[in-house]
Amino acid sequence: MSQPSPAPGSQHRTVALAAMAGTTIEWYDFFIYALCTGLVFSSQFFDGLGKDSLVISFATIGISFFFRPVGAALAGHLGDRLGRRAMLIATLLLMGVSTTLIGLVPDSGSIGTSAPVILVLLRILQGLSAGGEWGGAALISVEHAPPTQRGRFGAYPQLGAPLGLLLANGVLAAVTALTTDDQFLAWGWRIPFLLSVVLVGAGFVIRRKVEESPVYRELKESGNQSRAPIAVLFKNHWPLVVAGALLFAANNAVGYMTTGGYVQSYAVNHLGMNPTRILICVMIAAVGWLASTLAGGRLSDRYGRLRIYRIGFVIQLAWMFPFFALLNTANTGLVVLALVLYSIGLGLTYGPQAALFSELYPAAVRYSGAALSYAIGAVLGGAFAPMIAEALQSSTGTVYSVGVYLAGVTVVGLAVTFFLKERQGAPLSDSEAEAEADKRDEQAAMTA
């Protein structure tokens, strides 16, 4: 069987940019909900809960995470059976429809308890979509890439998170700047959700142009597809699923302090910062996150995935408490500095992820494995991180208790890197594995 040749250089970039565009739109949709949780939903949908409204509002972010593994399992099964490309389009449309509908839900003052129920149901649909989206975008980028540049091209779908955060904060900052507080709470917050229609339409057009992964095409032609990839995955590769989940959890918990809306809520509700100002601070930090994510992917091609992860986790750990100290000043310049430096460790533990997860699993169960590691890690890490942070800060009276929690999660991620084997450049298809085995046999024969 012939080895699947990677796409030509222009096709590499086309695939990577299409994956990035789609994940940007997906994460914009996902983040806009998280950002509005502390600023809007606690008063508009959960106002009857009194002082617990903010904690319960943050809990709705976490509820959707429990449906990510379900979305990952469904998309993983279909992605391993039917292909990566089809799942990319399906998950994008599901996210777009659910986000747009959130912008149309009346508040609890209009329809009572039905309002938060509908809101949570639509958030669950977002969770199903997010669970399946990342695996397809990551794999189609990495499986199209040359073996020596998987980190570089695999970083492109990762850029969707900081770009989505930048876009979500930017749109929300513009709306808050152009409306009064009353107007924003009455109708202004709905605008970012309704804009999802336009963004998803653009993403759909872009993703339809992407060719199927060459690794998947070979897998289909060979007839080596698994009939039950999830069952095979947990029978033969469950330690990798657990390791991947813990690795991502350490990144995701730290990242969700900004992407999950906790920092924005804390700055506004506890430090008295202007909502537009803190949103702009996070936008600047998102640029830093983008740069460090891209750097993390590229550096992992040169120095190895796990080494870059370790450096990132050490930076995360070292900056944790200085970050909260600067945040507490409520000084705009110092808050920007805190967030930008915070983003460096975050990017270095996010940029190599697509390449690392793709190289962990064999082709027949790769979508299922990568998607489930990502989704379970999101549950363990980011699901209730904003709620836990809010509860810790409220009960202890100090934000440094949140730092202790995040430092503990980071230590777990760092420890996992020493139990994984570096697989940089490992074969992604059966024919690549056969070619590598033939090369080893030839070298052994020559030295015999």
Q: What is the pLDDT of residues 386-425, one digit of tens each?
A: 888 988 998 999 999 999 999 999 999 999 999 999 999 8
Pair of tokens at residue 335: 């808050």
- pTM reported for the whole predicted model: 0.83
pLDDT at residue 41, rounded to an integer: 83
Q: Which residues contact 306 (CB under 8 A, 6 or more apart)?
A: 356, 417, 420, 422
pLDDT bracket for residue 48 (50, 70, 90): low
Q: What is the pLDDT confidence band of residue 241, given thresholds at 50, 70 and 90? A: very high
Residue 292 pLDDT class (50, 70, 90 cuts): very high
Q: Mean of the pLDDT values across residues 110-122?
A: 88
CB-count exposure of residue 439 (10 Å: 0-12, 13-18, 19+): exposed
Give the best-scoring range by mean pLDDT among 263-267, 324-328, 390-394.
Answer: 324-328
- Dist CA 344 CA 22 (whole Å): 24
**What distance separates the 2 farthest-apart alpha carbons in the chain?**
82
Burial 236-255 (b: 16+ CB within 10 A, else e): ebeebbebbbbbbbbbbbbb
**Counting Cβ atoms within 10 Å, is residue 35 exposed (0-12), middle (13-18) or buried (19+)?**
buried
Q: Rounded mean pLDDT of 290-300? A: 96
What is the domain extent for residue 409? 9-442
175-188 pLDDT, tens digit per residue, is: 988 999 889 988 99
pLDDT at 194 over 90: yes
Q: What is the pLDDT of residue 363?
A: 83
The reply to whether 1 falls in a domain is no
- Whether 429 maps to a domain, the answer reads yes
**Torsions phi, psi of 87, nearest 5?**
-70, -35
Residue 438: pLDDT band with limits 50, 70, 90 = very low
Considering its fold, how many domains does the chain have in total?
1
pLDDT for residue 361: 92
Residue type, 109: G
Task: Tell whether 447 is covered by a domain.
Answer: no
Q: State whether residue 46 is helix, strand or coil.
A: coil
Q: What is the mean pLDDT of residues 7-21?
A: 73
Q: What's residue 437's pLDDT?
A: 42
In a domain? residue 313: yes
Q: Please state, for a pLDDT cut of 90, what percent of the chain lies above it.
A: 41
Q: Is residue 2 part of a domain?
A: no
Is 123 inside a domain boundary?
yes
Per-residue pLDDT tens for 201-236? 888 887 777 777 777 778 777 766 667 788 889 899
The pLDDT of residue 151 is above 90: yes
φ and ψ of 403, to 5 deg: -60, -40
Please give the pLDDT value at position 444.
42
| 395: in domain | yes
pLDDT at residue 8, as a whole number: 52
Mean pLDDT for all residues in the chain = 85
Which CATH number do you get for residue 68? Answer: 1.20.1250.20
Q: Is residue 303 part of a domain?
A: yes
Say which range, 50-64, 134-148, 254-268, 365-379, has the weakest mean pLDDT.
Answer: 50-64
Which pLDDT value is given to residue 279?
85
Does 109 have pLDDT greater than 80? yes
Top mean pLDDT of 59-63, 272-276, 287-291 is at 287-291
CA 103/CA 98 separation, integer angstroms: 9
pLDDT at 5: 47
Q: What is the pLDDT of residue 71?
A: 87
